[in-house]
Amino acid sequence: MILARIILGLLDLAPMSGYDLKRHFDTTINHFWSADRAQIYRTLARLVEDGLVTVETLAGAKAPDRHEHRITPEGRDALREWLTSELDRQPERDAFLARLFFAGSLDDAELAGLLARYRAAAQEQLDALEAIRASTPPPADRRARLRIVTLNCGLTRTRAELDWLDEVTKELT
Amino acid sequence: MILARIILGLLDLAPMSGYDLKRHFDTTINHFWSADRAQIYRTLARLVEDGLVTVETLAGAKAPDRHEHRITPEGRDALREWLTSELDRQPERDAFLARLFFAGSLDDAELAGLLARYRAAAQEQLDALEAIRASTPPPADRRARLRIVTLNCGLTRTRAELDWLDEVTKELT
DNA sequence: ATCTTCCATAAGACTTGTCTACTAGCTTCG
DNA sequence: CGAAGCTAGTAGACAAGTCTTATGGAAGAT
């Protein structure tokens, strides 16, 4: 389960509560993975059960109790094992391509609308990624460089998608 | 649920059994969606229950009974409604980027290996997509053109990914 | 003559992920 | 003063997807 590995990865950077993790998922991690609160807490519970993570309850002075989670040596081993394990090819899943594939029954205007709306969404995503990159300081160490590199992947892909969309739009009208 | 829509889309092209659908998922549809047998049969049952699809059992002369599924007018309406509905932005989910993001603790050789293995997989996928395109006759109608267009999206994306990988590999070594 | 593969469906357990709502105190803004 | 929003975690239902096993005949291979 990948979510568990990602959580281990985040806890390897710093000890965190479930809430902290959720924030990371919604910001830093957002461009390649997302997670629901409930899912995060459940996964954390399982990681603790499996001994890959420990919990410490910190009584909150001005906030509710925090459950601070810390990765264990076994957790670090599991993380390392994941990073060096064989790649498991994940199947493609693209709801937009599915629609487009079956869009033969739409008329020209409807099809053009579908493409235009997707283009707008893609452009928006490109802007968002570029904004993140613009606000990221130049990478100091290996870790920071890897973070930028994953961002660049999103940028490259999104730009490629925009090129493809323009081509398609020209071709189909 | 997108699987149900895709099944409706396929049944709109021709009446089919669950088995036929599975074959389509493993071939035609494969580059943008995949589905498990059990999942397909369950979804079909629900579509029938909802009146979007009808079943007719054909006693198999030389094979087991086939349940031929046919889309109903209500099914066609539902399909059309999907095609013209608002786009729901699907969250990114990329197991490889997740690994790369956390690969800071790997040494240079391990990181290079990770990238090389992913590159090989991407190249393989590119070859597979190109093989499909090469074996596809030039598009005659709108539907056929849309099919090619979705294929092209995969090609464009995969090529962009390969470019990105080369850049990353150069940068990190 | 047996072994594998294809055709075709079904049942069941299990894992992942999503959605909604609840508790409860603190801060901030109007 | 009250409403909204943040911090923090919990609970339960539900939806979607995966994996495994079972059945059983027909065609083709070795």
B115 to chain A nearest CA, in Å? 10
User: Is B89 close to A153, i.e. CB distance below 8 A?
Assistant: no
Q: Which of A89, A150, A171 to mutate to test the interface with B (most CBs of B within 10 A)?
A: A150
The single residue listed with the structure tokens 């709801």 is A95
In chain B, which segments carry CATH 1.10.10.10? 2-84
Cα–Cα distance for residue pair A33/A2, rounded to 1 Å = 10
Residue in chain B closest to A148 (alpha carbons) equals: B101
Indicate if CB(B64) is under 7 A from strand D: yes
Residue in chain A closest to B145 (alpha carbons) equals: A172
Sequence-distant (≥ 6) Cβ neighbours of residue A6 within 8 angstroms: A29, A33, A35, B98, B102
Query: What is the ipTM for the molecules in this complex?
Result: 0.93
Decide if pLDDT at B97 tops 90: yes
pLDDT attached to residue B173? 75
Decide if pLDDT at B25 tops 80: yes
Class of domain A2-84: mainly alpha
Indicate if CB(B60) is under 7 A from strand C: yes
Question: Do residues A125 and B130 touch, judged by C-beta distance below 8 A?
Answer: no
Percent over 90 (pLDDT), chain A: 87
Query: Helix H segments across A15-107?
Result: 18-26, 37-49, 73-84, 95-101
Neighbours of A150 (CB within 10 A): 22
Structure confidence by residue, pLDDT tens digits, A26-56: 999 999 999 999 999 999 999 999 999 999 9
Structure confidence by residue, pLDDT tens digits, A93-132: 999 999 999 999 999 999 999 999 999 999 999 999 999 9
Mean pLDDT, rounded, of chain A? 94
